[in-house]
Amino acid sequence: MRVLIQRVTEASVTIEGNVKSAIGPGLLVLLGIENEDAVEDIDWLCKKIIQLRIFSDEEGKMNLSVLDTQGQILVISQFTLQASTKKGNRPSYIKAARPEVAIPLYEQFVDRLSVALGQPVGTGEFGSDMKVRLLNDGPVTIWIDSKNRE
């Protein structure tokens, strides 16, 4: 599983002209699921995301987590995070999980992240054409791959 996390002052996702979810200060999490992903990846990533200290404390140092700031989270599925660009100029998405595998993992990820956060997590709609709007704060953007834990 791969995530691209962006610290935001606000973010939203629009589907067919309607805002599906919107958040204030917090994290926008783009989630890419691959064929080999499992519940262990979900657990590890949710813990990492919730505890990631990327918000400023009173001294201006990135020392606070999304929990500490009572921030919100918006999770968007994005299979293109699994792109391989090793050959040629057209990315390959062979590692991206098919919907029958990815959707249950996506839903479990959102549920566990919501429980860990202590509040509902905003979402897009898996497989939809989504328009994501965000105001990156910092900018702070972090890439995490659950297959690279060490």
Q: Which helix (H) or strand (E) holds 81?
A: none
Host domain of residue 33: 2-145
82 is catalytic: no
Among 6, 55, 72, 78, the one annotated catalytic: 78
The residue with tokens 């201006």 is: 60
CATH of the domain at 67: 3.50.80.10
User: What pLDDT sits at residue 150?
Assistant: 74
* pLDDT for residue 15: 97
141, part of any domain: yes
Q: Domain for residue 118, yes or no?
A: yes
Residue 80 among the catalytic residues: yes
CA distances from residue 80 to 17, 39, 91, 137 in whole angstroms, order as listed: 22, 21, 9, 23
What is the pTM for the complete model shown?
0.94
Nearest to 28 by CA among 126, 111, 148, 139: 139
Per-residue pLDDT tens listing for the chain (150 residues): 999 999 999 999 999 999 999 999 999 999 999 999 999 999 999 999 999 999 999 999 999 999 999 999 999 999 999 999 998 899 999 999 999 999 999 999 999 999 999 999 999 998 899 999 999 999 999 999 999 887
Query: Has residue 65 been placed in a domain?
Result: yes
Does some domain include residue 26?
A: yes
Among candidate residues 79, 82, 109, 123, the one labeled active-site is 79
Is 126 catalytic? The answer is: no
Give the tokens for residue 111: 């549920």
Between strands 55-56 and 2-15, the pairing is: unpaired
48, part of any domain? yes
Q: Does 150 reside within a domain? A: no
Number of domains in the chain: 1
Residue 149 confidence (pLDDT): 84
d(CA 42, CA 37): 8
100 within domain boundaries: yes
- State how far the Cα of 127 lies from the Cα of 111, in Å rounded to an integer: 18
Catalytic residue among 70, 80, 119, 141: 80
CA–CA gap between residue 130 and residue 124 (Å, rounded)? 7
